[in-house]
Amino acid sequence: ADEVPIAEAGATFLVVANRLSVDRVTGPEGEVSWRTAPGGLVTALEPVMRKRGGAWVGWHGAPDEVVEPFEHDGYEIKPVSLSAEEIEEYYEGFSNATLWPLFHDAVAFPEFHREWWDSYKLVNQRFADAAAEVAAEGATVWVQDYQLLLVPQLLRAARPDLRIGFFLHIPFPPVELYQQLPWRKELLEGMLGADLVGFQVPGGASNFLRLVRTRTSHKVDRDRVQVGGTHVCTAKAFPISIDTEGFRELAESPEVVAEAEALLTELGHPKVVFLGVDRLDYTKGLRQRVRAMGELFTEGKLDPEDVVFFQVATPSRERVDEYRRLRDDIDLLVGRINSEVGGVGRPPIVYRHSSFPRNTMAALYRIADVMLVTPLRDGMNLVAKEYIACHPSDRGALVLSEFAGAARELRQAYLVNPYDLNGMKDVFMKALNDTPAAKGRRMRSLRKQVNEHTINDWADSFLAALDSGGSRAPGNEG
Ligand code: ADQ
């Protein structure tokens, strides 16, 4: 196109996220190209980028390497570099071993290290600088997630002309837990730099507002915070969703229908497929889920001749200790159950520690009679929504943890408390054996919910609220 290059004019819409929207692919001759990374966020924001003329600021994924900005699919890519030490301290450390466990109800012990915090501050400043550099006058900047909690404030300090939104993809913890953080005040002030702070559920917004009231001197009026004399920050829930139509079309495509058939054949045409799909993360409740399913097999309530439990777990954060332990635990647990139950054929639990292409995911959702989504705590959980979009029949069933953000919207799922093993076993059996009429009612109501609230609605409503809400100077608001 013959538009003015973004590099000169500045971008009027920016996304700032830990990772870029593109993955690097190296060809056989060593030639480098960039491919749009799969995932809902990129799908939702690319159209906005194209419309507004955008830039995506993020880390490119390799240590100690400077990558020059470039254009991709009509928008600007602005890579931020991280040293190997920063990856350890800012990313694996403070983001994934301090904030991640603490914000997920401390289901693993959060570690507090001052060096990690120093690195987190430094890297957040680098992201803010990179955004400040490419943003046009008065641009809208949307900062994503827990790795970048300080960016809104840092960015506002450098560029008071910008409109800044922030969205937290993970839960915002209860006040009592958050208080443990030695840097609790700084992180709150960091988020308050935004004009609009979005959470997955209203409970996250109210936890946040309660903390602002008790830990800062800013005046709070319902969901609005008057931040010093500079701006108003609004805190609200914007539940994220999926590209519902895209998933449905994919699941109905001939390729995926054929792949689903092939999967069933490979599994020896079991009567019932239970499915779990997760990143291998201790928040996802895998230990409890596998134990509950294992007991149902060993007690003879499920017959391994007829029933298979297919669990896929994407490798994740493998350099963080807690994740290595989890991987070993699940290997052991699955191995033990499989060696004790069943005949010589297919084992009762088919476990794959790997990532699958989207087609295979859709095929798995198609063949799953009972989908098990049982996190101990989860911001939203997109797998639950993807299953509803992809599963073609009214005979499917979604088992969903009360502690997933998605449980607020997907009321008609079979809800469970993942800490209650007996309770879970009962609900797994009920989800399997419920009457077709009851299952149909639930599936139809869930489908309606997922059809009517898509990822585009999420992005549109957040950006509309950001464009319209919150005044920059005190005294201007209604
Ligand atoms: P996650 O913790 O990663 O996301 P989730 O919302 O379930 O959790 O999203 C996982 C995504 O990865 C899904 O799109 C799923 O299809 C895909 N996936 C999982 N296992 C896979 C596999 N083996 N192969 C291929 N793909 C796989 C964080 C928060 C969530 C929040 C999202 C979005 O923790 O609570 O819902 O961000 O805001």
Q: How high is the pLDDT of residue 169?
A: 96
Query: Does 477 score more than 70 pLDDT?
Result: no
pLDDT at 39 (0 to 100): 76
- pLDDT for 358: 93
pLDDT band at 469 (very low <50, low <70, confident <90, very high): confident
* The pLDDT value given to residue 1: 44
Spacing, Cα 461 to ligand 1 middle (Å) = 22
Residue nearest to atom 38 of ligand 1 (CA): 169
Name the residue at shortest CA distance from atom 9 of ligand 1: 382
- Looking at residue 114, what is its pLDDT? 98
Residue 89 has pLDDT above 80, yes or no: yes
pLDDT band per the 50, 70, 90 thresholds, residue 51: confident
List the residue whose alpha carbon is closest to atom 15 of ligand 1: 383
CB 430 within 8 A of CB 439: no
C-beta 379 within 6 A of ligand 1: yes
Instruction: Give the atom of ligand 1 at the shortest distance from the alpha carbon of 169.
Output: 38
What residues contact residue 457 under an 8 Å CB cut-off, 6+ apart?
241
Q: Are 384 and 398 in contact (CB under 8 A)?
A: yes
Q: What is the pLDDT of residue 343?
A: 80
Any idea which of 30-39, 117-126, 411-420 has the lowest mean pLDDT?
A: 30-39
Q: Is the dihedral of CA 33, 38, 40, 43 positive or negative?
A: positive
Confidence (pLDDT) at 38: 77
For 63-67, what is the mean pLDDT? 96
279 within ligand 1 shell (Cβ under 6 A) = yes
Ligand 1 lined by 215 (C-beta under 6 Å): no
Is pLDDT of 478 > 50? Answer: no
Structural contact between residues 110 and 377, judged by C-beta atoms closer than 8 angstroms: no
pLDDT in tens, 246-259: 999 999 999 999 99
Closest to 46 in 3D by CA, of 466, 456, 458:
456
pLDDT band of residue 453 (cuts 50, 70, 90) is very high
Predicted confidence band at 8 (pLDDT cuts at 50, 70, 90)? low
Residue 171 CA, closest ligand 1 atom number: 35
Name the band, by pLDDT with cuts 50, 70 and 90, for residue 3.
low
Predicted confidence (pLDDT) at residue 467 exceeds the cutoff of 90: yes
Which atom of ligand 1 is nearest the CA belonging to 384?
A: 7
* pLDDT beyond 60 at 12: yes
Name the DSSP class of 88: I
Average pLDDT, the chain: 94
Q: Which atom of ligand 1 is nearest to the CA of 314?
A: 23
Question: What residue has token string 């992201």?
Answer: 127
ipTM over 0.85: yes
Q: Which residues of 49-58 are buried (b: 16+ CB within 10 A; e: fewer)?
A: beebbbbbbb
Give the ranges where 71-168 is alpha helix by DSSP (H).
84-86, 100-103, 114-134, 151-158
Q: Phi and psi dihedrals of 196, rounded to 5?
A: -140, 125
Burial class (CB in 10 A: 0-12, 13-18, 19+), 25: exposed
Atom 19 (ligand 1): residue with closest C-alpha? 278
Helix (H, G, I), strand (E, B) or coil at 324: helix
Give the relative orientation of helices 244-252 and 254-266 as an angle to the nearest 10 degrees.
60
Q: What's the whole-model pTM score?
A: 0.95
C-alpha distance from residue 66 to each of 3, 60, 83, 172 (Å): 27, 9, 10, 33
Q: Report phi then psi at 91, rounded to 5.
A: -90, -65
292 pLDDT higher than 50: yes
**Ligand 1 centroid to residue 427 C-alpha, Å:** 23
pLDDT range class, residue 165, cuts 50, 70, 90: very high
Q: What is the mean pLDDT of residues 177-200?
A: 98
**CA proximity to 323, closest of 280, 271, 380:** 280
Calculate mean pLDDT across residues 234-246.
96
**pLDDT at 71 exceeding the cut of 60:** yes
- Give Cβ neighbours of residue 461 (< 8 Å, ≥ 6 apart): 238
Q: What is the mean pLDDT of residues 220-234?
A: 96
What spacing in Å lies between the alpha carbon of 277 and ligand 1's midpoint?
Answer: 9
* Dist CA 463 CA 448 (whole Å): 24
Q: Let me know: does 342 contact 303? Beta carbons within 8 Å.
A: no
Q: pLDDT per residue over 298-323, tens digit each?
A: 999 999 999 999 999 999 888 888 99
